[in-house]
Copies of this chain bind each other. A is one copy, B any other.
Amino acid sequence: MALDATASGVFPIAPTPFHPDGRLDEASLGTLIDGYLKAGSTGVTVLGIMGEAPKLEPEESIAIAKHFVKGFGKLPVIVGVSAPGFAAMRALSRTVMENGAAGVMIAPVPSLRTDDQITGYYRQAIEAIGADIPFVIQDYPLTLSVQMTPKVIRQIVQENPSCVMLKHEDWPGLEKISTLRAFQAEGSLRPISILTGNGGLFLDFEMERGADGAMTGYAFPDMLVELVKLQKAGKRDEAHDLFDAHLPLLRYEQQQGVGLAVRKYVMMKRGFLASDAQRKPGSALSAKAREEIDYMLHRLQRAVT
């Protein structure tokens, strides 16, 4: 199923499961997919930064994408295809689309600075992969050091009809959502889907600003799904009650460098993964950190039941 601008709900950013010795854990891929489907995800994104994509062999990347496509059936699978060269980007994009992916996600290369450089990069990238593949703009300045204004995003969308979604991960970024939706309202921007990242740390208000849902890997995708539903139903207080109960852990997971270790640990405890191992180079949790997470999980359980 091709991705289009009406996409909404929750697209988890899937981690890649490894065995403690660094091998890909194919069995856990199945468990992970089941978990995401059971949680009510409306799609999934694979081979992103949090998926340890740069550490994968090319054939592993494709195998993982295939697993998810098969598991998700008619639900859309987005594949991260960011690469330093357009040849590799094109090759991966064509391959995953032929294998059933719904669209691709493209982050700008970190060296881009000026507005013209950024819009030029997307023009060239789309020329390379082909204008027939639906794509997602990944806007993630904290990690990529590339800053896109709402006007730049609008220009990319207007110049490239195959752009269907913004993965919004600017921080702070609430005003950016409001500005983009105002562009739509005044007719200067065609409708696109906006899913938000940042580990969900501002999802409570992002929904109120006009986001269509979340694209992030927080270890409780079921909470993200529920929150998006509550906000869409206009149940503001209930949405914030749910969100606030998760905020201590959400915040803890949002630590650059160790965040993935926290996330995998919680997903292991919740049965999504058999192991919390990362492929090297990776980070590990201290015993004290694990105790802190356990404490927060305990408090969370008490709060939501």
B-binding residues in A (CB < 8 A)? 22, 52, 54-58, 83-88, 91, 113-117, 121, 124, 128, 147-149, 151-152, 171-172, 174-175, 178, 201-202, 204-205, 208-209, 240, 243-244, 247-248, 251-252, 255-258, 279-281, 286, 288-289, 292, 299
Identical chains in the assembly: 4
- Which B residues are CB-close (under 8 A) to A209? 288
B114 touching A55 by the CB < 8 A rule? Answer: no
- Which B residues are CB-close (under 8 A) to A279? 85-87
A87 touching B57 by the CB < 8 A rule? Answer: yes
Return A185 CB to nearest CB of chain B, in Å.
Answer: 14
Q: Which of B56, B85, B151, B174 contacts A289 (CB 8 A)?
A: B174
Bound CA–CA A252/B117 (angstroms): 23
Bound CA–CA A256/B83 (angstroms): 20
- Which B residues are CB-close (under 8 A) to A56? 85, 87-88
Bound CA–CA A232/B254 (angstroms): 26
State whether A57 and B240 are in contact (beta carbons under 8 Å apart), knowing that A85-B281, A152-B114 are contacts in the complex: no
Main secondary structure of the interface of A (DSSP, over half): helix
Return A246 CB to nearest CB of chain B, in Å.
Answer: 10
Given contact pairs A85-B281, A172-B255, A208-B292, enumerate 18 new A-B contacts (beta carbons under 8 Å): A54-B88, A55-B84, A55-B86, A55-B87, A55-B88, A86-B279, A87-B279, A114-B148, A115-B116, A121-B281, A124-B280, A171-B255, A174-B292, A175-B289, A202-B251, A205-B252, A205-B292, A247-B248
Bound CA–CA A68/B248 (angstroms): 34
- Which B residues are CB-close (under 8 A) to A172? 255-258
Bound CA–CA A247/B117 (angstroms): 31
- Which B residues are CB-close (under 8 A) to A116? 115, 149, 151
Return A144 CB to nearest CB of chain B, in Å.
Answer: 12
Bound CA–CA A50/B85 (angstroms): 13
B178 touching A281 by the CB < 8 A rule? Answer: no
Q: Residue of B at shortest CB range from A209? A: B288
Bound CA–CA A171/B292 (angstroms): 16
Q: Which of B83, B117, B288 contacts A178 (CB 8 A)?
A: B288
- The CB with the most chain B CB atoms within 10 A, among A54, A55, A85, is that of A85
Q: Residue of B at shortest CB range from A173? A: B255
A85 touching B54 by the CB < 8 A rule? Answer: yes
- Which B residues are CB-close (under 8 A) to A252? 205
Bound CA–CA A220/B22 (angstroms): 45
- Which B residues are CB-close (under 8 A) to A115? 114-116, 149
- Which B residues are CB-close (under 8 A) to A55? 84-88
State whether A57 and B88 are in contact (beta carbons under 8 Å apart), knowing that A113-B113, A240-B299 are contacts in the complex: yes
A87 touching B22 by the CB < 8 A rule? Answer: yes
- Which B residues are CB-close (under 8 A) to A22? 87
